Amino acid sequence: MAKLTYFSAVQNIGAHIFLGWMLLCEVSAVAQPHPVAPPVNYRQPVVSWLVEKDSRLVINGKSNFGGIACHNEHFQKADTISLYRTAVGDSIVCRGRFYLQVVDFSCHNFFYTYNLRKTLKMDQHPQMTVRLVQLDRLPPLQAGAYGRANSLVEICLAGVCRTFEVPVEFIQNADGHCWLKGARMFRLQDFHLESPVKFAGLIRVKNEFVVQFQLSMTRI
């Protein structure tokens, strides 16, 4: 009788373990997330522009001797910027970036140009890239229109990529040509860079600088 009681108890425990395992499998199956459709349709852009070579980017800084303006007007590689609608509100996803060679920056002064290239670690990272990531609204597309938007822009400089909020302006010409303008203040520490100090501290460059870009774009 004792043996039968022992085996009955073992069978009951085994049955409970099996039922518990089956219940766990069912719960796990229900808890699996369902695949979500992507919120962006990359097959149908709302509009696309070709970034022309007459675009330009300017880095404005300051030293204890005055202002410094370093221009780059050599957009050697034409790129395309496309805008896509999303399933969330009025936000617009962007595709496209442009590339700049650090050696093409000119501060119109040999000393400042040399130190800019050295500060930006040109030998290790000769290229700067700017990528338009997102807009909070679709800009006006009709001829002669003007509009503003808040954007997310990724800047890769000296081997460090950071994404920032940048206010931008769109200016549409009657011939379909468009200007995209934006500006924002940054710090050298944003890109893990150090402010140059020369001649035992006689010349000091401030930590803050402003990047201004003006893209000349043709609708395609």
- CATH number for the domain harbouring residue 195: 2.40.128.110
DSSP secondary structure code for residue 31 in this structure: H
Q: Which of 148, 136, 137 is nearest to 172 (CA)?
A: 148
Give a yes or no: residue 41 inside a domain: no
Pair (181, 92) in one structural domain = yes
Q: What confidence score (pLDDT) does residue 66 get?
A: 80
- Least confident residue range of 98-112, 161-175, 203-217: 203-217
β-partners of residue 154 are 131, 163
Helices (H), 107-199: 110-119
Pair (111, 210) in one structural domain = yes
Phi, psi of 191 (to 5 degrees): -115, 20
Range(s) of the domain holding residue 23: 1-32
Per-residue pLDDT of 134-188, as tens digits, reads 999 988 888 889 999 999 999 999 999 999 999 999 999 888 799 999 999 999 8
Pair (27, 59) in one structural domain = no
Predicted confidence band at 104 (pLDDT cuts at 50, 70, 90)? very high
- Say if pTM beats, i.e. exceeds, 0.75: no
β-partners of residue 93 are 84, 134
Look over the chain and give the mean of its residue pLDDT values, rounded to a whole number: 80
Q: What confidence score (pLDDT) does residue 53 get?
A: 86
Give a yes or no: residue 37 inside a domain: no
Predicted confidence band at 63 (pLDDT cuts at 50, 70, 90)? confident
Residue 35 to residue 28: CA distance in whole angstroms? 16
Query: Looking at the predicted structure, is the pLDDT value of residue 76 above 70?
Result: no
Token pair listed for 9 = 């108890």
State the average pLDDT over residues 32-61: 72
Give a yes or no: residue 96 inside a domain: yes
Pair (140, 202) in one structural domain = yes
For the chain, what is the domain count? 2
Give a yes or no: residue 39 inside a domain: no
Residue 160 to residue 96: CA distance in whole angstroms? 19
State the average pLDDT over residues 105-130: 92
